[in-house]
Amino acid sequence: MKCTAVIDPNTRQFLEFTRNALSDGRCSQCGNVALTDPDEVKAGLDKLWTEYTARHRAAPNYTCCDIVRHGDYDGCEKAYIRIGGPSDVVEKYPVVAVCRDLEELKSLALPDPTREFTLMGIQGFEFHDVLENKTYEIGVDDLKIPVTTKEVLDFYPAEHRLKETDIEQYAAAYTARIKAYREYTRQLDATLVRRLLDKERLMKVGESDGFRLKLHFDWFVILKRENERMYAPFKYAVNAYCLDNIQTFDRRYVTLEDALLHCLNGFNENANIPNRYKSIGHYLSGKS
């Protein structure tokens, strides 16, 4: 039966009851909260659990359910509860609770004033791979950068479907590198361009310099002096890392001016799009 009155979800006691509430079997004031029997909820959980495990030959780890929050008379709300697994994971959904097993899940059908909600019904069981939220210590330029599984998954697009082995082999290291580069504040501007050009003759093979570059996204750029014997006629390399997503850009250049100008023009390689600056002199003149 559906709710025909305003009830206290903690005690199931009627707070208000009118004949009008029976007109269509629903009560707009309480959001159509189900007057459920805890034993019926438990029996329903058992039935759906048995059906799921028989069909999938494995236990689920999430349930989509209806709950009523204590002290809130606005009706049921849809929520997710995780079943089993480590206590600290990167959740597939925001969850209101984590249960050890089916028996603990069933106990949520009993009103408990020390708990924030009561389980009123279940829509179904699901299974989703979840990853434990580990912390990795990654070395980046002589620094130890901590990065969590959640940080990695937040940075990489969902379509990459990273597994723990992917995170351990490359994704944690790359996320830590980006996290470290975000701490750099020096921007590529006219002052830095002049300094790099003035000190070009002092830059030895293998030495590098780094700076931030503001395009549509923020980038961190490493400008490196290359070994001319190995990469002739190229003398400089640019390795750029987007700080907002996993884009990268890598090129070699014959001159330092070529490298800096390409950065200032946003790595433009489309012949149909004119460059903003025709030369370093054009940029330093302050004219767009």
What whole-number distance in Å separates Cα of residue 66 and Cα of residue 121? 5
- Where residue 120 falls among pLDDT bands split at 50, 70, 90? confident
The predicted structure's pLDDT at residue 47: 96
pLDDT, tens digit (0-9, with 9 covering 90-100), for 191-221: 999 999 999 999 999 999 999 999 999 999 9
Averaged pLDDT for residues 163-186: 97
The ranges assigned to domains in the chain are 5-126, 134-181, 190-284
State if pTM tops 0.85: no
Q: Does the pLDDT at position 114 exceed 80?
A: yes
The predicted structure's pLDDT at residue 273: 95
- Where residue 70 falls among pLDDT bands split at 50, 70, 90? confident
pLDDT, tens digit (0-9, with 9 covering 90-100), for 123-152: 999 999 999 999 999 999 889 999 999 999
Report the range of poorest mean pLDDT among 38-42, 46-50, 209-213.
38-42
CB contact at 8 A, 93 and 48: no
**135-140 and 131-132 as β-strands: parallel, antiparallel, unpaired?**
unpaired
Averaged pLDDT for residues 226-240: 95
The predicted structure's pLDDT at residue 111: 82
